[in-house]
Each structure stands twice: as structure tokens, then as C-alpha cells.
Structure 1
Amino acid sequence: MKKFIFTAVLTVFSVITFSAQQNDASISKLFQNYLSIKNALVSDNSDNASKAANEFIKSASMIDFKVLSEGNINVLKKDASQISDSRSIDSQREIFGHLSQNMISLTKNFKLADKSVFVQYCPMADSSWLSSEKEVKNPFYGSSMLSCGSVKSEIK
């Protein structure tokens, strides 16, 4: 089921025509808010993950539909809303996996940051996430398995 949902979402992101403006500031802000969610999960802090998800939703709401389609923005906002509404760190981490797959799809069409962005992978969670640093800090297991995972690719 998880693979089917990912494939369906990836297909949605693949068929959308993106703006020629590949380095949009609103997308960079969205990425920064995504990193805040990741860092809160790394720190095992569900309250901060919820707050960061709210900021992510605000950033997503500021993106022009000419830059990213309304459907794609709604998919991102839905995942972030579920993280925001949940008080269970385990649930937040599971939803973060979906959000991460959608954010990884964005990297194919947008430059998210001025520096390299790293796609990292946790074999225990069978999920990937984005990071602005090469050092692995696992958001799916936090302090219990902080360095579990590997860098799968670097996006320059």
C-alpha cells in the first residue's frame, strides 16, 4: 500500500508542468521549513515538529500556483497538516516519510537551496529524506538510532 501511495503521488508530481523559474524563493522557504520538521524529529520533539509543520503549511500557502500546481501544494499541505495535528512522534515520523518523498520529487524540478542537498536513506524505516548536511541524522528514529542511514545522492 505504501509503495502504491508513493507511486501515485510521484506520478502527480511527474506530470505537472513546472514554471521555468527553477530557483524560486518560496520553494527555498518551503525547504527550510521542511528541514525544521526533520530537525524536530531528529531531536525527538513532537511539539516542535508540530510547530514546524504549521510553518511549512504557511510557506506552502504562499507559493504561487504558477510555480507549483495547486494539487501539488495541497498534497504537501495535507502531509504537513497531519504532522501538525498529531501528538505522537511515531505517527509524525511515518507521515514525514510521505512528505519527504514529495519533497524529493520537487528536487527534480527546483533548486531547493544554494548549497548541496543530500538525499539520505534509513534501511530500518525503508524511507528517504532530504538534508542540508552530509552527516546522517535520522529523523525516523531520532536519538535511538541517530546515525542509522546513508547518503544516497547529492543534489547540487
Structure 2
Amino acid sequence: MKNLTNTLLIALTISIAFACKKNDQAAENEEHMDHQEQMDHSTMDHGTDSESTAAVSFENMEVSHVINSYLDLKDALVETDGEKAKNEASELLLALEKSNLEGKEAMEAEVKNISETTDTEVQRTSFDVLSNQMAELAKASVLTEGKLYKQYCPMAKNNEGAFWLSASNEIRNPYFGDKMLKCGSVEEEI
């Protein structure tokens, strides 16, 4: 009888230990899945396109900072978020003011217009002029990391058409946002 009791106790102990280990593994797996899901969401939260997380680098660090700030502004306009665009424009304005870039005054004027309003239609008007200035800056500079695409929407500006720069060849239209998110084409790789 004593042997039977000892055997049952040992079996019970092993069963409990096994059950606890299985629960620990399940909790660990669940924690891993939660972490993976958070990683997936944080990747998605960087925008609807891959360009939000893609930075470009130029030989001149001032150009890199200005172009990457411009790309952040473009992303805010893609989201049709006037407040965010205003904030991004303020950051870009600071980057321009601190730089010694040729022609920065003309860029500053357009960025200042964007930074003074949350009206995305007004912001997009200045963004059009700014985009052409940024394209000239990028073409005159040496790109050392990443890719930059000049993209075009023929329907922007009441069907006059407008350009913008993107770090992705995927079209995300800053002139129409979610109304016509994918309207446009890549005109050139810089």
C-alpha cells in the first residue's frame, strides 16, 4: 500500500510539473505572439507605405536632413493631416534655417506658408512649389544611401499636374491623400 501511495504521489507530482511547464510554454508563446503582433503593428504604424521608414542619405548632411524632413511633410499630406503637416513643416523650416544651402530662402518661404496653417489645400499649394525646389536640390546633390523617386500626378492642381519626391516607388499621393491615394506614376529615379 505504501508503494502504491508513493507511486501515485510521484505520478501526481510529475503530472503537475508537466502541466505547469505546459502552461509556462503557452504563456511564453502567447507573450511571443503579442510581441510579434506589436512589432507588426509598429511597422504598419510608420505609414501606409514603406517610404516612411526609409531614409535617404546624401554626401551633404544638410541636404540629407532637409530632404528627409521634406519626406516627413509629404507623408503628413498623404494622410491629409493638416496639424501634422504644420508640425513637420516647422521641423523642415528649422532644418533649412540652420543650413547653408543655396536657394534656401525660396524653400523657406514655401515651408513657412505650410507651417502657418492646418488647411491641407493651402498646404498642398505651397508643397507643389516646394517639391520642385526639393527635386532640384536632390538632383544637384550626391545620393549615398537609399533611392529617391520623382513622382507625378496629372490630376493635381486642377488637372495641371504636380510632382513630389518619395523614398519609395510605390505611389502615395500627397495632393489627394486617401481620396486618390494611388493616382500618379514614377517619372524618374534620382
Instruction: Tell me by how many angstroms 1:111 deviates.
Output: 2.8
Alpha-carbon distance in 2 for matches of 1:25, 1:59: 11
* Residues 117 and 154 in structure 1, CA contact (< 8 A), matched pair in contact too: yes
Alpha-carbon distance in 1 for matches of 2:97, 2:125: 23
The residue that corresponds to 1:12 in the other structure is: none
Alpha-carbon distance in 2 for matches of 1:104, 1:143: 24
The residue that corresponds to 1:107 in the other structure is: 138
Alpha-carbon distance in 2 for matches of 1:88, 1:35: 19
Alpha-carbon distance in 1 for matches of 2:71, 2:144: 11
Alpha-carbon distance in 2 for matches of 1:29, 1:112: 12
Per the alignment, in what secondary structure is the counterpart of residue 145 of structure 2?
coil
The residue that corresponds to 1:86 in the other structure is: 117
Considering only CA atoms, is the larger Rg found in Structure 1 or Structure 2?
A: 2
- 2:157 is aligned with 1:121: no
Alpha-carbon distance in 2 for matches of 1:113, 1:136: 23
Aligned positions of 1:3-152 closer than 5 A: 23-64=59-100, 68-69=101-102, 72-112=103-143, 114-125=145-156, 126-152=161-187
Instruction: Tell me by how many angstroms 1:94 deviates.
Output: 1.1
Alpha-carbon distance in 2 for matches of 1:43, 1:35: 13
Gaps of at least 5 residues in structure 1 are 1-21
Alpha-carbon distance in 2 for matches of 1:141, 1:35: 16
Alpha-carbon RMSD? 1.2
Which protein has the bigger helix share? Answer: 2
Instruction: Tell me by how many angstroms 1:153 deviates.
Output: 0.5
The TM-score, its normalising length taken from structure 2, stands at 0.66
Highest RCO, 1 vs 2 (Cα 8 Å, sep ≥ 6)? 1
Instruction: Tell me by how many angstroms 1:113 deviates.
Output: 5.7
Change (3 A) 1:142 1:93: same
Alpha-carbon distance in 2 for matches of 1:132, 1:139: 13
The TM-score, its normalising length taken from structure 1, stands at 0.79
Alpha-carbon distance in 1 for matches of 2:142, 2:122: 29
Alpha-carbon distance in 2 for matches of 1:63, 1:116: 22
Post-superposition Cα deviations, 1:60-109, rounded to whole Å, max 9, x if no partner, equal 11212xxx23xx11111110000010221111111100000100111221
